[in-house]
């Protein structure tokens, strides 16, 4: 059984992905695209320069700026290939 990451390993990974462009799919069908800004202790995710859109629906983009996404509604997280 896996023990998971140590706090130090988790911090290294989190620091690597800071300010990288990502897309988060959430449970209600929305996608939030923006840049990883920070996390809190829960760990909710804050995204800067965020753009919201609905999966499968054209012309639904809406700029929402800085947004916090609760961890329990996150379905998937994708990192932009150019930022890897």
For 42-71, write each residue's pLDDT tens digit.
Answer: 889 999 999 999 988 888 899 999 999 999
- Asked if residues 79 and 25 have their Cβ atoms less than 8 Å apart, the reply is no
The span from the CA of 69 to the CA of 59, in Å, is 22
- Domains detected in the chain: 19-83 (2.30.30.100)
By the 8 A CB rule, do 49 and 19 touch? no
Work out the number of other CB atoms within 10 angstroms of the CB of residue 50.
20
Tell me what pLDDT residue 42 has: 87
């Amino acid at each position: 059984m896996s023990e998971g990451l140590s706090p130090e390993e988790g911090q290294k990974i989190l620091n690597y992905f800071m300010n990288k462009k990502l897309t988060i799919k959430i449970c209600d069908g929305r996608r939030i695209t923006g840049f990883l800004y920070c996390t809190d202790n829960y760990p909710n995710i804050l995204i800067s320069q965020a753009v919201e859109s609905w999966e499968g629906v054209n012309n639904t983009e809406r700029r929402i700026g800085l947004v916090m996404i609760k961890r329990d509604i996150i379905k998937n997280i994708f990192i932009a290939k150019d930022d890897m």
